Structure 1
Amino acid sequence: MRPARLPAATAIAAVAALTAVTGCTEKSDAKGGGNTVEVTATDDKCEVSKTKLSSGHVELAIENKGSKVTEVYLLFPDDRIVSERENIGPGTKQKLTAEVKSGSYQIACKPGMKGDGIRQKISVSGGKAVKRDPRLDKAVADYRAYAQEQADATLPKVKLFTDAVRKGDIEAAKKTYANSRIGWERTEPVAESFGDIDPKVDLREDGLEEDQDLEKDWTGWHRLERSLWQDKKLGERDKELATLLDKDLKDWQKRVGKAEITPTSMANGAKELLDEVATGKVTGEEERYSHTDLVDFKANVEGAEKAYGLLKSVASENDPALTKELDKQFAALDKLLGKYREGGGKDSYEFTSYDKVGKADRKGLQDGVNALAEPLSKLAAAVVSSK
């Protein structure tokens, strides 16, 4: 779950929001050529160097000139996410590589990482499909199957959790809570790409928009987490929320197979999972009541490594130094995480409660994540480059 995300808007609401947006203008003095779009984000503007692109691979060269941490999204008109780059600090630059077909899209900058974002419409022309290495087509198919497998495996685990909530069995619910989230955390970028499911099931308390009501609009795992660990009681509302969680996750399961997945979205998704770890798990904010953050941490890293593994054969030919570094950093992070495992083997999910992990250890985990995230941010470019 990202710290703050696009709200669960319908397609109609998204169109209405576009007509009301101000401060999103086109720059006329762009230096970028081809399918490179310079995106300059400030606290109240989102300037783009061009609004007409050719189908194929596009690179967003992003610079945050504002005072707030921002996010930049490439969106379909109905708010589904093509690709995104989160946590772009003031005064920093980042690049985002994505694959686009002919059609209409939007670029959205989100200063402060909340709200609908400041948006710009862009159009893509040209009907030719991107020429791909056949291995990348197989990677996409295999990753789609992996995402579906994770969704299928998650539902019965969630039912164990929600059944316990409906029975009012607090201890049983606590024992099944973290395990019910593993499949979701492994493939979260796919779920987030739909735009509307993630806020229903994985929203944190501080992710609510200003006009949302805490008791009425906050749903999903973390709302129940608070009831179990902080409130230490389960009421009728919690039972309703458990049933709603089942329903929303069944919706996710049905839609996973239809998700827009490309080699670049897989690579960017792997980076997003590391961002999830850096901004939610290492800080202890994600599971602030249950302190099961290291379970999510491991699942995020596993999901990132799965996507990388499927893309590795192509990336290693285009950039062997990069894949060598990624292999090294994935192994190092897994070893570091193993220090906090309390039982079982390498694949065990029995971890130390995160409230018992001190500042120095958290700093070590953060450093390990950063060491992996930096080269992982280059994976998408390595996948699409040609030697």
Structure 2
Amino acid sequence: MSPRALFFAASVFGLMALQTPAQADVDPQELVEPIAEYKLYVLDNLDQFVSHTEKFTQAIEAGDLERAQALYAPTRVYYERIEPIAELFADLDASIDAREDDYEHGVEDPDFTGFHRLEYGLFKEQTTQGFTPYAKQLMTDVNDLEARVQDLTFPPAQVVGGAAALMEEVAATKVSGEEDRYSHTDLWDFQGNVDGSQKIFELFKPLVAEQDPAFVERVEENFTAVEATLAHYRREADNPEAGFVSYEKVSETDRRAFVGPVTVLAEDLATLRGKLGL
């Protein structure tokens, strides 16, 4: 374990000790290292999230519509990866990532802020004019999120359960195309959710591999199937940083093809907490 991970391990050890080993299939102390490594993953993504959000919001404030549109999707990826932790702060999650459907007056509601409020302006109204206050608020919220997570003790059940929650979100809002309805950048968010879910699974996989190798093999095969379908829609096959084509270009056949492995993944990963005694 790295020195940073050792530091974080110390912060979660006390929480692990509160669990009763007799009730778990895995010794609670075995969860300390993967939880610590996951916190490093979250903090690294938060660091990138802050940096990308700065560039994104600066483009809006400068009135650079084309650059702001280009930065929208690659900025959100970092948030999508760490949603199991970000959603622990309900106020910030609502401010950063709520959709217009969550508000009685939709885009006219004064409480509707964050990425999707900006998405509406950038891609529907095709303007940055009047959106500087929303950009500034987003930057404030993202900085606040990073500050709160620094000293957070990660709840093990929330972390492990996050693997399934991320895939459930893909099935619920990504495949339909409803989340990024104006930018049609859903595949970027899709990839972020898959990345975050797969990271959690990989960290805890060694703890369940011996007791249930068939489970591990099935999950790995379904992740591979989802990644293969996503790869088909990359702008550049050998350059993941180039991102994806518009979701409007994804065929109905492939949209349906996503549903099977995503649903199975969500169902299988939902059993991970039980396998770890959480």
- Coarse TM-score class (shorter-chain normalised): 0.7 to 0.9
SS at match of 1:297: helix
**1:373 counterpart = 2:262:** no
8 Å contact 2:123–2:183 — kept in the other structure?
yes
Q: Of 179, 184, 190, which residue of structure 2 is paired with 1:297?
A: 190
Paired residues for 1:107-186 under 5 Å: 128-131=18-21, 132-186=27-81
Task: State the AA in 1 paired with 2:206.
Answer: S
Cα deviation 1:86-124 (Å, max 9, x = unaligned): xxxxxxxxxxxxxxx8xxxxxxxxxxxxxxxxxxxxxxx
Distance in structure 1 (CA, Å) of the matches to 2:135 and 2:192? 22
8 Å contact 2:234–2:240 — kept in the other structure?
no
Distance in structure 1 (CA, Å) of the matches to 2:169 and 2:227? 16
8 Å contact 1:162–1:242 — kept in the other structure?
yes
SS at match of 1:318: coil
TM-superposed CA distance for 1:143, in Å, is 0.6
8 Å contact 1:281–1:296 — kept in the other structure?
yes
Task: State the AA in 2 paired with 1:342.
Answer: R
Partner of 2:116: 222
SS at match of 1:216: coil
SS at match of 1:289: coil
SS at match of 2:210: helix
TM-superposed CA distance for 1:345, in Å, is 2.3
Task: State the AA in 2 paired with 1:313.
Answer: P
TM-superposed CA distance for 1:235, in Å, is 2.2
- Greater strand share, structure number: 1
Distance 1:380 1:219, change over 3 A: same
Partner of 2:3: none
Distance in structure 1 (CA, Å) of the matches to 2:144 and 2:264? 36
8 Å contact 2:164–2:265 — kept in the other structure?
no
Partner of 1:187: 82
TM-superposed CA distance for 1:367, in Å, is 1.9
Distance in structure 2 (CA, Å) of the matches to 1:360 and 1:367? 12
TM-superposed CA distance for 1:129, in Å, is 4.1
SS at match of 1:384: coil
Partner of 1:203: 98
What TM-score comes out, normalization by structure 2 length?
0.87
8 Å contact 2:99–2:117 — kept in the other structure?
yes
Cα deviation 1:124-163 (Å, max 9, x = unaligned): xxx9444434331001111111111111111111111101
Paired residues for 1:1-387 under 5 Å: 128-131=18-21, 132-208=27-103, 210=104, 214-236=108-130, 238-345=131-238, 347-384=240-277
Distance in structure 1 (CA, Å) of the matches to 2:38 and 2:259? 27
5+ residue gaps, structure 2, are 1-14, 22-26
Distance 1:212 1:229, change over 3 A: closer
Distance 1:188 1:171, change over 3 A: same
Distance in structure 2 (CA, Å) of the matches to 1:337 and 1:365? 9
Higher relative contact order (CA 8 A, sep 6+): 2
Higher Rg: 1
Distance 1:151 1:363, change over 3 A: same
TM-superposed CA distance for 1:347, in Å, is 3.7
What TM-score comes out, normalization by structure 1 length?
0.63
8 Å contact 1:271–1:377 — kept in the other structure?
yes
TM-superposed CA distance for 1:349, in Å, is 4.9
TM-superposed CA distance for 1:168, in Å, is 1.0
Distance in structure 1 (CA, Å) of the matches to 2:153 and 2:69? 34
Distance in structure 1 (CA, Å) of the matches to 2:262 and 2:239? 18
Q: Percent identity among equivalent residues?
A: 36
5+ residue gaps, structure 1, are 1-100, 102-126
Distance 1:212 1:222, change over 3 A: closer
Distance in structure 2 (CA, Å) of the matches to 1:172 and 1:346? 20
Distance 1:269 1:349, change over 3 A: farther
Aligned length: 258
